Amino acid sequence: GQQLNQSPQSMFIQEGEDVSMNCTSSSIFNTWLWYKQDPGEGPVLLIALYKAGELTSNGRLTAQFGITRKDSFLNISASIPSDVGIYFCAGQLGGETSGSRLTFGEGTQLTVNP
């Protein structure tokens, strides 16, 4: 299937620092979603983006739908220990004929040191 390049693969930060991660593709996406997964659990939807250039916040989280529709980023401000987990981006391809399926990035593993 289509690839989403998510970076970085892992991050080790101190509590209180800001975090930024992104996803890029050579293809155009109509929708971008960001999820967080705790160990041994299912991913939880954090933010959904539907329009190019859209900037959406959810508490300390901010995500943007890139203007080219080929990328998205997620920022976490003032990180806290419970931010630890794996963050996934997911997108719905433009012109996608297979209905509602999503393409997922490989995830960013975030570790926050108290």
What H or E segment, with its residue span, contains residue 55?
strand 55-58
Residue 33 is a binding residue for another protein (CB under 8 A)? yes
* Alpha helices in the chain, H assignment, sequence order: none
The distance of closest approach from Cβ of residue 37 to another protein in the complex, given in angstroms and rounded to an integer, is: 8
Q: Please, which residue, 9 or 18, has the CB nearer to another protein?
A: 9
How many Cα atoms are found within 13 Å in the side-chain-facing hemisphere of 81? 2
d(CA 27, CA 3): 9
Torsions phi, psi for 6 (to 5 deg)? -110, 135
Residue 52 binding another protein, by CB under 8 A: no
CA distance 90 to 85: 16
**Subset of residues 69 to 108 that bind another protein, contact rule: CB under 8 A:** 88, 90, 92, 98-102, 104-107
- State yes or no: residue 13 binds another protein (CB under 8 A): no
Stretch of 13-21, 41-49, 54-62, 66-74 lying at the interface with another protein (CB under 8 A): 41-49
| Residues in contact with another protein by the rule CB under 8 A | 1, 6, 30-31, 33, 35, 40-45, 48, 88, 90, 92, 98-102, 104-107, 109
